[in-house]
Structure formats: C-alpha cells, structure tokens
Amino acid sequence: MSATQIQTPRSGKVGAGRVAPKYNRNGSSKGNFEMLAWLFMRLSGVVLVVLIFGHLFVNLMVGGGIHAVDFGFVAGKWADPFWQVWDLAMLWLAMLHGSNGVRTIINDYAERDATRLWLKIVLYAAAAAIVILGTLVIFTFNPCPVVDGVQLPGGFCPAP
Amino acid sequence: MTAELAEPASKIELPAGVGGGGEIPSFDVTLRVRRYNPEVSEEATWDDFQVTMYGTDRVLDALHKIKWEQDGSVSFRRSCAHGVCGSDAMRINGRNRLACKTLLKDLDTTKPITVEPIKGLPVEKDLIVDMEPFFQSFREVMPFLINRGHEPTKERLQSAEDRERFDDTTKCILCAACTSSCPVFWTDGQYFGPAAIVNAHRFIFDSRDDAGDMRLEILNDKEGVWRCRTTFNCTEACPRGIQVTQAIAEVKQAILSRKV
C-alpha cells in the first residue's frame, strides 16, 4: 500500500526547505557602506542647498542678472579660484548625491540581479564621465585658446 | 406569569428610520474576495459575495458569513478575532488592516469591498500567505532578552522611564501588516522589513538587555535599516498604532552614534 503524498503548499515548492529561496539573504554584508551612503545623502543634501542657491543667486540676481550671463561671464567666474572650488564642490556633490539616489532606486525597483547589475554599470559609467569631464573643464578652461599659433575666433579675447 | 420590568427610557436620540431601542441598522454589502487555489489553477481570480450585514459587523464577520453560509472553501486565517493575535491581516480596499478591527460601516459599502491577501509574501490559498519569510527576519534580530549579568532571584527591575523608552514597540502583534505594506519589501523580499526592526528596537532600547550592539550590527546589513525609504506605509498600516517609521529612525540613529 503506497502512502498518498500530500505536498504542503509551501512557497518553497519541492525540496526548497521551509522558506522560499528568493527570501534568503545571501550572507551578511560586512562593512558600513550603506550607512555611509545614507549619511552622505543627508550631509551632501544640506551642503548642496547652500551651494545651489548661492550659485543661482550670484548668477541670476546679482549685478546684471540673467541677461549678463554669457561666455565671458562664465570665463570670468572660472578665472577666480573661489568659483572654481565652488563649482567643483557643486559638481562632485551633486553627481554623487544624484547617482547614489538613482542607485537606491535601481536597488528598489530592479527585480532581477542581471538587470540591476547592468543598470548600475550604465549609471556608474555616466556619472564617472560627467565628473571627470566637468573637473577637467573647470581646471583647464581657457577662454582664449590658441591653436597652431592662430587665435580661435571669439569676441571675448583681446586681439593678439 | 412574570412581571414585566419597564425598560429605562433611552438617552440616545435614534433617527426615525431605526426601530426600537437595540435595533442595529442592516445593509447589503458586496465583498470582492481574491481567490487562489493552486490545486485548481495557478491564476488568482476575484469572487463576489453578497451578504446582509449589520452596523456592528466587521469585515471578519462578513468573511465568516460567506464561509459558513455561501462558500465553505473561502480560506483565511483568524484566531482570536479581537485584534490581538495578528492572524487576520489582509488588504482591504487596498490598505493593510486587520479584518477583525475593520468595521464594515467605516468602509464605502456602496461599492464592492475588495479583500486580498497581504502583498509581498507567497500566497498559499485565497487570503492565506506563507508567513515563514516574515518570521525568518523576525528570528534573525534575536527577539528575546539577552542578559549577561547574574540572574536575579526576583524579577529584573526597571525604572518607569526606562520602560517608557521602548513602550511603543512592545505593542507589536506580528500581523505582518507593516512589512507587507512596504514597497521595498515588495521588490525582492530581501529587506528585513519594519516588523523585524520594531522587534529589534524593543530589545535594543531595553535597559535590561545586553545584546543591543549585536542587533545593531545585524541591522547595519545592506538589507537592514538603510533600505528604509521613510514612506510611512508601515506606520499607516500598523493596526496597533505603533510609530514604526520613528522606531526605524531611532535604530538608524543608534547605529550611527555607535559607529561615527
């Protein structure tokens, strides 16, 4: 006489133990990365409020206001180390803050590990490209470039 | 023959439509119940049931009436039926609540009342979900007193202020309404979830307990408190009124002040 096997309708289906495998956490993560990321979001957020509103105020309200913003205005600002540091801090903090935010959104919404990995690779590549290019521009910006001994056209530079 | 005692005059003004004292208004209501039976079909369906209920009835009473009088195959959990055991958390009109604490008259009875199993946990049948993943996270935070000191001969004394510190989180009945209302938990079920953190909070801030650091270390995991997005779904869902999001924030603060 064969005993009738009645399968319990557990989520794990056959042979998967009591808890469905998708709920099992694979090992505990060592380190404080998530804590530091959480802290960074709060601190950078506070600093960014000052940096961004300072930036908007100086560009749009002070002096000639928005109508004075042109190539020469930007060139003038980046000739000053103060604004170089200001813009550099704004670039780095905003990019890291934003990228970390998108990273958590990917973590929350991507359901498959492969999707999650690829979205994050694209995100990190994009963030790195913008941060590197931006840093390069802030420090090497030259409003009057000379190529092969010839002054490039532009109305902002004194005639050679 | 028994002498009839005169009822004392009612002090409550009743509307004209309602009959004598003690009569409870009744109404017809449609319950739209999510049905799932893996032995019949892998697809879940909606079933409508019409029942006549009274103003004092809860959603659980309607489910009982359906099960007892209309369709005995309707499956749901309930134990105490008085909001203490935490067995009958379900998604009623799109919100996680206890069926035994939700009065029908407080819902919109002109439309069908939808009753679904709580989300994020595997459905076993109809409104019954597999609670094991939920309890797994609960067990991981070690929800029991760990005291390395000498065992006292009497009870472990504690000041009223020390007891007050974690009073809110002692109210948890493990119904899973919070964890299964959390969008982060819905994604992949990896997050520890609000209920586990609430029960860790209950011991982390207990002056008699010595294992707070261990619990904070467990919740410092990448699936721990830092996955909380403070959407307040858990606080809204809690049938016991626990300030869940605040408890999670306090655990975050405790980890930070220990590490930084």
Contact yes or no for A109 and B223 at CB 8 A: no
pLDDT tens-digit profile of A106-154? 998 888 889 999 999 999 999 999 999 999 999 888 877 777 777 766 6
- Structure tokens belonging to residue B226: 């830092």
pTM, to two decimals = 0.84
Q: What are phi and psi of B52, to 5 degrees?
A: -100, 120
Separation of alpha carbons A115 and A103, rounded Å: 12
**Closest Cα in chain B, distance from residue A15 (Å):** 15
Measure the CA–CA gap between B238 and B35, rounded to whole angstroms. Answer: 25
Interface test with A, best of B75, B124, B132 (most A CBs within 10 A): B132
Residue type, A68: A
- Amino acid present at B74: V
Give start and end residues of each alpha helix (H) in chain B: 59-65, 132-140, 160-165, 183-188, 194-204, 212-219, 233-237, 244-259
Residue-by-residue pLDDT tens, chain B, 260 positions: 455 666 666 666 656 655 555 677 899 999 999 999 999 999 999 999 999 999 999 999 999 999 999 999 999 999 999 999 999 999 999 999 999 999 999 999 999 999 999 999 999 999 999 999 999 999 999 999 999 988 889 989 999 999 999 999 999 999 999 999 999 999 888 999 999 999 999 999 999 999 999 999 999 999 999 999 999 999 999 999 999 999 999 999 999 999 87
Whether residue B236 contacts residue B181, with contact meaning beta carbons closer than 8 Å, is answered with yes
What is the residue-wise DSSP string for A54-122? HHHHHHHTSTTGGGG-SHHHHHHHHTSHHHHHHHHHHHHHHHHHHHHHHHHHHHHH--SHHHHHHHHHH
Residue whose entry in the numeric block shows the structure tokens 């032995």 = B39
- Tell me whether residue B174 is exposed, middle or buried, using C-beta atoms within 10 angstroms of its C-beta: 0 to 12, 13 to 18, 19 or more: buried
Q: How many CB atoms lie within 10 A of CB B79?
A: 11
Choose among B136, B227, B260: nearest Cβ to A19.
Answer: B136
From B246, B180, B239, B258, select the one nearest B60 (Cα to Cα). B239
Distance of CA B88 to the CA centre of its chain: 7
Q: Which of B74, B73, B40 has the alpha carbon at shortest distance from B60?
A: B74
pLDDT tens-digit map of A30-77: 788 999 999 999 999 999 999 999 999 998 888 777 888 888 888 888
Q: Do B229 and A108 count as a contact with CB atoms less than 8 A apart?
A: yes
ipTM above 0.90, yes or no: no
Residue written as tokens 């067995």? B87
Contact B220 A104 (CB under 8 A): no
- Residue B227 phi, psi dihedral angles, 5° rounding: -80, -10
The answer to whether the Cβ–Cβ distance between B136 and A22 falls below 8 Å is no
A127 contacts A103 by C-beta, under 8 angstroms? no
